Chain A
Amino acid sequence: MPAQQHSRQRGPSFSRRDFLKGSGAAVAATAIVTAPQEIDAAQESGPKVTSAEPTEVTLTVNGRNYRLKVEPRVTLLEVLRNDLNLTGAKEVCETTTCGACTVLIDGKATYACARLAIECEGQDIRTIESLRNGDQVDEVIAGFVKHDATQCGFCTPGFVMATKAFLAKHPKATLEDVRKGLGGNICRCGTYKGITECALELARKGGA
């Protein structure tokens, strides 16, 4: 299980570089065959990890400050979903691959599962919830609905955030730009055509 494998590599002092290395190693491990005996040994020996003490952190999410205490290994995505109840960003892949957890950090589209909560202090975090105020919705959301770029909807908030950041950076995006620029997200239901049409329509209007 990748989740377990990379957790095992986490120690009490844990840097972002280690995290990325860790998750990369977990991915590679699926292609490398581990002999069964070795796995037995790992399960036999019990926990090697001692948790680091929870740390205080202040996160600025959608313009509001939240003060919380979390272990250093907790990701931004976990805090958003489990502690702040901002569940628009979804947890899907555990390997920083799918984009379902996309948020904006200082305006940049970021996988919230690839960032530790403690390293986001002082940054401007925007989640999908910031793009709607009652009946008023951001034009990217409106465009997704118009072009039916949502089916089950599970990938949709992440895709909306990715599209928002993409159009801010490429306000005049072409079809080729969309095909490359939105390649960081996965939809299983097959809404890609609607998303493409939505992004191109907004680009024709000069971005979103």
Chain B
Amino acid sequence: MAERTVAWKPRGQNQLIGKKIPRIDGIDKASGAAKYSADINTPGTLFGKVLTCPHAHAKVVRLDLTAAEKMPGVRAVHAFAQVGQEVRYDGWPIAAVAAERPEIAEDALRAIKVKYEVLEHWVDEEDLEGAKQAGRTKDTRRRPKGDVDAAFQSAKAVHEGYYGLHTVTHCCLERHGSHAEWKGEKELNVHLSTQNVSGTAPQYAKALQLDAANVAINCEYIGGGFGSKFSVDQWDIACAIMAKKAGRPVRLLLDRATELKIAGNRPSVFAKIKVAADADGKVVAWDSYQWGTRGVGGGNVSLSVIPYLIDDVPNKRQRSVGIRTDCGSYRAWRAPNHPQGCYLTICALDDLAAKLGEDPLQFFLRNLDRISKEHLRQTFAGELKRAAELIGWKEKWHPRGQGGDGPIKRGLGLSMHTWPGRAHQANCTLRIYPDGTVESLQGSQDLGTGTRTVIAITVAETLGLPLSAVNVRIGSNKYPFARASGGSTTVGGVSGPNRRAALQALWKIFDLVAAKYEVDADSLEARGGKIWSNGKVVCSWKQAASLIGPMPLEFHGEGPKKDGLTSEDVGGVQMADVLVDTETGLIRINRFVAVQDCGLIIDELTARSQVMSGMTLGIAYALSEERIMDRKTGRFINADLENYKLPRIGDIGELVVEMYQPDSEYARGVVGLGEPPVISPGAAISNAVANAIGVRVPVLPLTPQRVLDALKGGVA
């Protein structure tokens, strides 16, 4: 028998892989049948709500829960804070209640008596001098490389600029929270809005002194996570505790304001950057001094992404100051550190190109050999070329400030990014039943990527079955272990094990068919629900499956493995075409192009959606979205969806997505895609605005006020 090896099929032989296939749970999502944790209403469910601290920094001097406890309809009360405890930001949880109805829970929160001693606070993330004086800063620096000062002195062009991005939140539409229900004293069943189905039971077990094996985590659907839902939060533990106290299930979700304040954010960063090019137009020196906040724990954006991508600069120096603010803590926000590093670096380099009087496209093409990920240089060259064609760079690009004679100026800008996206650890169980039914189980989750669809495509492709023949089960920690979905790891993570397990199944079926029908197992092929030998049908899939006897066949798939099914590292290029109204400061996106590689694409439809998702989130943080902290009170003053501005359907312009997929991409196997497209939008859009109006608007989001200020001040 010929050796059987694990690999993807040759590209041309795929029936499903690489096609544009609608997601298999799309109808359930669009028709409201999909049940999220927020939707779980088992009989007797109580409603939980959380009371939070309205101060940036205070000491609790009195906390009286008695009135709330005595209120009719209130079934449990839980204190997060203790008298004497310091609370460190607006939105800090103080107490929770569970009641028969939501309105009673609200009344109960109002009946809780809390008295605070208000303490000094600091919430400003941009005012470095003030933060230093307040004793809120901590420095980190890297060992400089080369001779930075000499390099600046002998450079042909030097640019110095100021750049920054404000804190943004994750703002998941499904708020953080859970539904908890006990089975007796020792078994807990939770519906948790989580990116980490298989990994959260131990956290409950530790907090509640349970056996981890007795904690069931369910999450069939999750309404957004973006990196903020990896852990069990204290309000989830409170939900379980109150459920036990009340002897009833409890559902507790944060309210919207608290969600924005404490359930995760992306750190801010501001930087003074000096950068230089030599006589050949190559980046030769980099010097940056950055500061910002990750919230109450201090810290700043990692120096590992500064300078970003174009990082093989012979002379460089980077310093960083973290500011400890009395604000909610950061959490991993889609492509942690990268959007910030990309914005600071690519904008500074774009300004350097302008200083050289050069088209940035030429400038970046020339500096591709400054990318230390050498294997991506070719990809970037191809993607830059293709994106330029799609946006009409040659026809439309003009030197800075020549964006038209009227008040409305037009400009183009570009940016590039990279991300590892390697497959995470995941296992699956694949069952073939004697009636031909196929089932794949894993403790994974679908954040919107299309996890179920990717699994179904992989298995159906391998077994030569229609998509509908595969039953996919995810969203329970009782299925085989799969890691959390974060960092673009899931599609590679689940597709590898499913391909491996399905191939094992297929080979077993081939052996049974070969024996029964007296054909050579090596000649067999599964396609269209049938088993073929040398172009002739041997039997149907159902007939083949019946050969396994009365019990199902079960296979275990593991990953990742070094068998070529998955790999890592993607590039990606984005180009924006914008209009800027210099009288109102309003920016409109005309066209926004992304050319994105991600290795072998399993489902091009959902892959394209991931790219559009990144671009749309990018437009949000580039143009409108920011956390606004009031210096005087220390409060997050726009913690609602009216004033925390997200783009709507009319605000995103025309998105153009092209998946970059020469055969070399297919050959390297699956690489993750969720993070990369969210990295570039800030720089691409800001560069387009600078190209249109001739000056840099230094800080994101590019609100009308900031645009007008830049125009007035002529900030270069």
Contacts and interface: CB of A to CB of B under 8 A. Distances in A.
Interface of A: 1-4, 7-8, 26-27, 30-31, 33-36, 39-40, 43-44, 46-47, 49, 51, 71, 73-74, 78, 81-82, 85-95, 97-98, 100, 127-129, 131-132, 137, 141-142, 144-146, 148-157, 160, 178-180, 182-183, 185-196
A154 B32 contact: no
A97 B642 CA distance: 6
A100 B174 CA distance: 10
A178 B654 CA distance: 13
A41 to B, nearest CB: 10
Interface string B14-40: 000000001101111111111110110
Nearest to B453: A148
A136 to B, nearest CB: 10
B671 interface: no
Contacts of B448: 150-153, 189
B255 A94 contact: yes
B586 interface: no
B679 to A, nearest CB: 14
Given A93-B640, A154-B36, A46 B113 contact: yes
Given A51-B107, A87-B38, 18 more contacts: A36-B55, A36-B116, A47-B111, A51-B104, A82-B102, A87-B39, A89-B32, A92-B174, A97-B641, A145-B27, A148-B22, A152-B173, A152-B221, A153-B30, A154-B174, A156-B29, A156-B30, A194-B609
A185 B103 CA distance: 26
Nearest to A179: B650
A153 B643 contact: no
A137 B30 CA distance: 10
Contact of B23 (A33, A87, A92, A150): A150
Contacts of B224: 152, 154, 188-189
B258 interface: yes
A187 B28 CA distance: 17
Nearest to A178: B649
Contacts of B114: 43
Contacts of B652: 190, 192-193
Given A95-B642, A190-B613, A7 B106 contact: yes
A199 B415 CA distance: 31
Contact of A30 (B221, B613, B643): B643
B632 A1 contact: no
B325 interface: no
5 contacts: A2-B257, A33-B633, A128-B32, A141-B27, A152-B174
Interface stretch (B200-208, B316-324, B614-622): B614-622
Interface of B: 22-23, 25-36, 38-39, 41, 47, 52, 54-55, 67, 101-104, 106-107, 109-116, 118, 171-175, 221-226, 255-258, 447-449, 605-606, 608-609, 612-617, 630, 632-633, 635, 637-643, 646-650, 652, 655
A91 B47 CA distance: 14
Nearest to A157: B32
A92 B615 contact: no
Nearest to B618: A190
B173 A98 contact: yes
A173 to B, nearest CB: 12
Contacts of A189: 224, 448, 613, 616
A81 B39 contact: yes
A59 to B, nearest CB: 17
A78 B102 contact: yes
B257 A3 contact: yes
B642 A157 contact: no
Contacts of A86: 32
Nearest to B639: A30
A50 to B, nearest CB: 9
A133 B112 CA distance: 46
Contacts of A142: 27
B637 A90 contact: no
B172 to A, nearest CB: 7
A4 B109 contact: yes
A30 B22 contact: no
A95 B646 CA distance: 14
Contact of B31 (A4, A88, A154): A88
Contacts of B110: 4, 7-8, 46-47, 49
B107 A30 contact: no
A74 B257 CA distance: 20
A188 B646 contact: yes
A44 B649 contact: no
Contacts of A92: 173-175, 256, 641
Given A82-B41, A152-B224, A152-B447, A39 B54 contact: yes
B256 A155 contact: no
A27 B613 contact: no
B181 to A, nearest CB: 16
A154 B175 CA distance: 10
Max chain A Cβ within 10 angstroms of own Cβ: one of B23, B642, B643? B642
Given A46-B111, A188-B224, A131 B173 contact: no
Contacts of B616: 187, 189-190, 192
A85 B30 CA distance: 17
A188 B171 contact: yes
A44 B173 contact: no
A95 B173 contact: no
Contact of B256 (A2, A8, A74, A85): A2
Nearest to B118: A36
Counting from the closest, the 10 A-B pairs by CB-CB distance are A88-B32, A190-B616, A154-B223, A153-B29, A151-B448, A179-B650, A145-B26, A87-B39, A190-B613, A128-B32
B132 to A, nearest CB: 25
Given A4-B110, A193-B612, A34 B171 contact: no
B339 to A, nearest CB: 15
A35 B38 CA distance: 34
A149 to B, nearest CB: 8
Contacts of B630: 33
A54 B414 CA distance: 59
Given A87-B35, A88-B31, A88-B33, A183 B111 contact: no
B90 to A, nearest CB: 10
A185 B22 CA distance: 23
Nearest to A195: B649
Contacts of B35: 87
B30 A36 contact: no
Contacts of A34: 633
Contact of A182 (B38, B39, B649): B649
Given A40-B115, A46-B67, A148-B609, A27 B646 contact: no
B376 to A, nearest CB: 25
A160 B107 CA distance: 34
B456 to A, nearest CB: 14
B627 to A, nearest CB: 12
B257 A155 contact: no
A195 B27 CA distance: 14
A1 B643 CA distance: 13
B173 A154 contact: yes
A161 to B, nearest CB: 9
A144 B25 CA distance: 12
Given A33-B633, A92-B173, A144-B30, A190 B615 contact: yes
Nearest to B261: A1
A195 B609 CA distance: 11
B171 A33 contact: no
Contacts of B174: 90, 92, 152, 154
Max chain A Cβ within 10 angstroms of own Cβ: one of B31, B33, B255? B31
A95 B640 contact: yes
A11 B109 CA distance: 17
